[in-house]
Amino acid sequence: MATEIGRPRNRGIDEAVLRATVELLGQVPYAELSVDAIAARAATSKPAIYRRWPSKAALVHEAVFPLDATTELVFTGTLRRHHRIGVHRNA
């Protein structure tokens, strides 16, 4: 069993960053979205974001396609159809 060293991670930062990401994506296209802007909106720092997500793409993916204990993953026959249905369910 591994023990974590250091301060416990603040889940409030995760939630604020994900919320800020979704809000900003409603205002600017992905290409113009910056981690600096997300950090400012979430009242945190870029290093705090990069400790949680390895890239802007990974962050946006988690913000747009959240998975939790209640998310049902069902294969629908084709990858294209599966993604289309998943997007509509999360909209």
Q: Where are the domains of the chain?
A: 11-90
Task: Quote the pTM value.
Answer: 0.68
Query: Which of the pair, 19 or 67, is modelled with greater confidence?
Result: 19
Inter-residue contact 90 to 66 (CB < 8 Å): yes
- Token duo for residue 15: 């939630």
* pLDDT tens track for 2-44: 566 777 778 889 999 999 999 999 999 999 999 999 999 999 9
11-90: CATH number: 1.10.357.10
